[in-house]
Amino acid sequence: MNKKILLSMLFSFALCFTACDDYLDVHPATGFTEAEVFSSESEIQSAVAGVYTLMLTDDAYSNRLAFVFNPNTDVEMSAISTNTVNVNGSDIACFEPKPYWTTLNSTWNAMYKIINNANDVIQGIEGSDLYKNASKTEASNITQMYGEVKTLRAMVYLDMIRIWGDVIFRTTSSTGDEDFRVGVTDRNKILEFLIDDLKSVEPLMQYASELNYGPERASRSFNQGLIGLLALTRGGWTLRPDSNAASIGHMVRGENHELYYDIAIQYLGKVINEGQHDLKLSYRDFWVKQNNWVTPVNDDVIFSLPLLKNTSGEYGYAIGIPILEGTHAYGSASGNLVSLAGTYLYSFDSKDLRRDITCAPYSYDANLKQVIRLDLAKLAVAKWSKLYSTAPLGSTSQKGTGINYSWMRFADVLLMYAEAVNERFGPRQDAQEALKRVRRRAFDQADWAAKVDGYVASKSNPDLFFQAIMDERAWELGGESKRKFDLARWNKYGEVIYNQYNKFVNWGKVANGAYVPGVDNVPGSVYWKEIPNPDTNNASKTILDIKGIDPVLQSKPAGYTETVFATKWYALNNDTQSYEPNNEIKWSFRGFINFNNAASKSPADPLRYLCPYPSKVISDHRGAIQNYYGFNY
């Protein structure tokens, strides 16, 4: 792929920009001067590529930012079966991370390496004759690269804010001798700066269709979409600390949020109206191409991190449909870093084409036969699978799939635009049309009258339309680790997790014959049998015909095997001799709601979705930084 050329230039060159272990110490001695580095377009391009190189490490976007920092939601979910804190402090999923968890520190450092590298490159470009002499009214390669690095820096800061809240903010190149007794900057101040900073470079950036690496580089459209997302984050809700550091804190909406929703409307509207991106491919074809390392320029992907085959990336391996290693050419896949809540599968309309390319209630054995895999939190993310590949990497391949990380898609932009317009003006026509564009791809054209036009028309007031946006983002973006951020800025996280805990409990009760008002037609079991594969290329392999998803069945069809589903979620505890939810329900949300405190919880209670500052950061900054939200030091 072209991205190999872009990044291969850097491995020898980027050493002069790579930070040391301490995140502020970014100028190891080198034989290069700044004037030499930024004296030509090709050398500046190598320096820009250095930013991407740092973004592709495991501690950044190749692994951690893609799926490790994933608190549980009503979409993505990891099952936790104990109320004992993990000794490694890795209980992010259930809202109980610990400051001493080493991955927190390594990711914090990795993110600041990217930021410091970006600051170096920005300063170098600003000081170069090429940039000084470039037109400031027309886009050029130099102004594009300048805006590109600023856009990447803003993206990294946004992700840090969404993980930690207030963070240390630097926009200038470090000399390595700064005073470590520096504190954090209020997240809203950072967001405001970044919005204005990206606005200043947006007119002089180029579209993906004009760039030699397409949407694998930060383009003008990505800059615009990111301004919109920054603005929605600034105008949305966030967890703020109380004066008592032991308190969970409280949710606060940013002041003057209307202004920021207007900014979001303006810049997300630019992405839509300038016509550089669309939803041309079918939903299935889009994901199959992603798994075959193909990213069309003018379609759904607005920005995609360019991961490298056999080097970086775990999509298709750690996230995707599990595969046992065998004599086949695909290699194994664990699929264990991101799973979907079992209830999520049942939220889809039966005619929604996204369901079966998002949710896989099965895995593959060593002979590539499907095996049932469906439980409270074992539903695989079907968007990624090594089996989609027409040129598999080999029988021993595992990690390093090279499948890109699509950080922003056009469908995401359409839904953010519809959300922002509805917030300010209600479900006016342009907001409805943005939602319809997403849903048209989700359904066969024969169903558009009911599932697109009729459905959207029924969302006739702001509250109904907002709920439709919440639902659509769940269905469209499932498994892509966006739900956690959406729920936080909507101030819906606590409510959704409260409802999800009780949904699991109530489904289990009803499946066991209890009556719960408003809860019926619960899938107590699913039923399956092996059938021939309709794919003529794999006719010798069997697949599963699964029944009991839609419609829900209350008895086993003839010739099918039963797999117990919700029935086992609520059963007799042999120790207490009482009926209780199973351990995964009891403790998967334990940092917010669990078996011991459920009776006293309210959906309005704040949920601690942020991570603590790493212990080493606190000690390095000598009292200038401290943890809140009830985290231990």
CATH of the domain at 9: 1.25.40.890
Q: Which of 554, 553, 68, 74 is nearest to 345 (CA)?
A: 74
pLDDT at position 7? 39
pLDDT tens for 321-358 read 999 999 999 999 999 889 999 999 999 999 999 999 99
Confidence of residue 9 (pLDDT cuts 50, 70, 90): very low
195 lies in which domain range? 2-62+101-205
pLDDT tens for 447-459 read 999 999 999 999 9
What amino acid occupies position 177? D
Confidence of residue 592 (pLDDT cuts 50, 70, 90): very high
Residue 600 within a domain: no
Check: CB of residue 542 under 8 Å from CB of residue 533: yes
Residue 281 within a domain: no
How would you classify residue 178: left for phi > 0, otherwise alpha for psi between -120 and 50, otherwise beta?
beta
Share above pLDDT 70 across residues of the chain, in percent, rounded to a whole number: 93
Mean of pLDDT values over 159-176: 91
Residue 13 has pLDDT above 70, yes or no: no
Q: How far is CA 161 from CA 91, 184, 611, in A?
A: 19, 11, 10
Mean of pLDDT values over 416-442: 98
CB atoms inside a 10 Å sphere around CB 603: 14
Residue 308 within a domain: no
Strand partners, 528: 546, 561
d(C-alpha 2, C-alpha 273), whole Å: 28
Confidence of residue 177 (pLDDT cuts 50, 70, 90): low
Residue 512 has pLDDT above 50, yes or no: yes
d(C-alpha 231, C-alpha 188), whole Å: 10
Give the count of domains, the chain. 1
Mean of pLDDT values over 11-15: 38
pLDDT at position 573? 84
Mean of pLDDT values over 461-471: 98
**Mean pLDDT across the chain:** 91
Check: CB of residue 542 under 8 Å from CB of residue 572: no
Q: Which of 57, 46, 45 is nearest to 19 (CA)?
A: 57
- Residue the block writes with tokens 């204005």: 196
Joined together, the tokens standing for residue 271 give 């992405």
Residue 518 within a domain: no
Q: Which of 80, 89, 162, 167 is nearest to 484 (CA)?
A: 162
Residue-by-residue DSSP string for 457-523: HT--SHHHHHHHHHHHHHHHHTTSS-HHHHHHHTT-HHHHHHHHHHHHHHHHHHHTT--BTTB-S--
Mean of pLDDT values over 478-491: 97
d(C-alpha 543, C-alpha 502), whole Å: 34
Mean of pLDDT values over 425-452: 98
Residue 32 within a domain: yes
203: Cβ contacts below 8 Å, ≥ 6 apart:
139
Mean of pLDDT values over 11-25: 35
Residue 30 within a domain: yes
d(C-alpha 17, C-alpha 25), whole Å: 11
Residue-by-residue DSSP string for 46-62: HHHHHHHHHHTSTTTTT
Confidence of residue 315 (pLDDT cuts 50, 70, 90): very high
- Residue the block writes with tokens 């919109």: 228
End-to-end CA distance of the chain: 46
Residue 179 within a domain: yes
Residue 121 within a domain: yes
Indicate the length of the chain as a whole number. 633
pLDDT tens for 233-258 read 999 999 999 999 899 999 999 899 99
